[in-house]
Chains A and B, each alone.
Chain A
């Protein structure tokens, strides 16, 4: 049986994937042959694919987050300021520059390529020109993961291979289909951004974002329905609240310790 892991998008909640991998490997003694990721799932998936024998890598990410904490604060401030956001939404292709993401991913992946991975690895991004999900399984990891994590609106689209790429989670958040395409026979999916139904909205932007999250949830469900096992983790934090990473990790550990049998 070829086991595959599909890791979904969710910004800083991607830390939950680390807790998930650690728990599922510990409890099941399972070995994954394939990993696919979208956005935060691609960041964690890439690290796992390079070294699948190491199933606890919180410390690696912790070091990166601490080292770049000031940059994360700047990013968080830029994205949460409405005045700045509105202006940049109209006069640029993204609120913030994605140099920050690039610098961080460079510290993690350097010049590593997909061919350096010990197990099969693939990521998804979305091309805004052709309106198609793009599957990337070769080339430099940093380019692919950068494209897959490129939150639309927050950052300008990334130009790669003649395409304008943004976060694959813009359309479908957990790449189960890619895991199948890479040969996965038993697919375990981890969704860290499930939509929570609500009926109050802080303003019109919140309302529009909510309706769009319902669309994405329906598309993602279409993929999740084909996985053999689906786990989910919910935490009400903004995707860029990187200072909350440790609380998320601890909560995720509790959730997965309870849910994985």
Chain B
């Protein structure tokens, strides 16, 4: 089974639940990931079907620099919006220090490369210099993979690698871009909630996300999708994991009936 996963952090728990359900029934999967799902991909690659335990431990580490990406208050705090506008409009390309993040990932994953993972996973990225989507070479170190895949605006700038400027494909189109017609997409965010924009900054953020969703709609129109039946109050709560499992089970049963 070919499985594609992307998205930002909102769906990471739910998507993990859905993938866990599939892995309970089918260990023979070909997984392509992008964005926050690259963490799911990495821990699956290392630990197989028990990946979520390790992913959760990693996310909950006290000094993990990905925490601001997960618990973003950009949509709810006007103060945060003001800081963001001021920082991005007057100086750098990012809100957080990418060098600190890079050092953290290096210390965590050392020289481990994609090809050393126990289970095969492909990581897709987007090069903003050429406008091309592609899979990362399997000799690339995991720390560089994750740095590229988590170069999510406005927190981190693009990652420079081999003369390319890389960001996750899923920032552009919610999932990996190069999908196959016989594949299956897992994406909580494809069915996630649409927020109400209160000011011009939120209107621009909303439109940016609408572009991502529209592109996803275009590339995924003939491909099967598992998404949430209704948006959850707290998609980062463990309830989301079981909701993902349950929804996936329903899908699998529906598919078996076909």
A residues lining the B interface (CB < 8 Å) = 82, 85-86, 88-95, 126, 128-129, 131, 152-153, 156-157, 166, 170-172, 195, 197-199, 201, 203-205, 207-208, 210-212, 214-219, 222
- Find out whether the CB atom of A208 lies under 8 angstroms from the CB atom of B203: no
Q: How far is the CB of A111 from chain B (nearest CB, A)?
A: 30
User: Is B91 an interface position by the 8 A CB rule?
Assistant: yes
- Find out whether the CB atom of A205 lies under 8 angstroms from the CB atom of B211: no
Q: How far is the CB of A125 from chain B (nearest CB, A)?
A: 12
- Find out whether the CB atom of B89 lies under 8 angstroms from the CB atom of A86: yes
Q: Who on chain B is nearest to A207 by CB? A: B93
B 181-224 binary contact with A (CB < 8 Å = 1; else 0): 00000000000001011111101101110111111001000000
Measured between beta carbons, the chain A residues less than 8 angstroms from B153 are 207-208, 211
User: Is B70 an interface position by the 8 A CB rule?
Assistant: no
- The one of A157, A171, A203, A219 in contact with B88, judged by C-beta atoms closer than 8 angstroms, is A203
- The one of B165, B171, B200 in contact with A93, judged by C-beta atoms closer than 8 angstroms, is B200
- Find out whether the CB atom of A212 lies under 8 angstroms from the CB atom of B203: no
Tell me, in angstroms, the Cα distance from A152 to B197 when the chains sit together: 12
- Find out whether the CB atom of A199 lies under 8 angstroms from the CB atom of B213: no
Dominant secondary structure of chain B at its interface with chain A: helix
Within 8 A of A (CB), among B42-95: 78, 81-82, 85-94
Q: How far is the CB of B170 from chain A (nearest CB, A)?
A: 12
- The one of A93, A204, A212, A219 in contact with B91, judged by C-beta atoms closer than 8 angstroms, is A204
Q: Who on chain B is nearest to A199 by CB? A: B129
Q: Who on chain A is nearest to B207 by CB? A: A170
- With known contacts A207-B153, A207-B157, A211-B167, A153–B200 Cβ distance under 8 A: yes
- The one of A89, A170, A207 in contact with B85, judged by C-beta atoms closer than 8 angstroms, is A89
Most A Cβ at <10 Å: residue of B82, B196, B208: B208
- Find out whether the CB atom of B203 lies under 8 angstroms from the CB atom of A166: yes
Q: Who on chain B is nearest to A204 by CB? A: B88
- Find out whether the CB atom of B85 lies under 8 angstroms from the CB atom of A90: yes
- Find out whether the CB atom of B172 lies under 8 angstroms from the CB atom of A218: yes
- Find out whether the CB atom of A218 lies under 8 angstroms from the CB atom of B204: no
Measured between beta carbons, the chain A residues less than 8 angstroms from B81 are 89-90
- The one of B172, B173, B199 in contact with A89, judged by C-beta atoms closer than 8 angstroms, is B199
- With known contacts A89-B85, A157-B203, A218-B172, A204–B94 Cβ distance under 8 A: yes
- Find out whether the CB atom of B210 lies under 8 angstroms from the CB atom of A86: no
Tell me, in angstroms, the Cα distance from A131 to B193 when the chains sit together: 11
Q: How far is the CB of A190 from chain B (nearest CB, A)?
A: 21
Q: Who on chain A is nearest to B90 by CB? A: A203
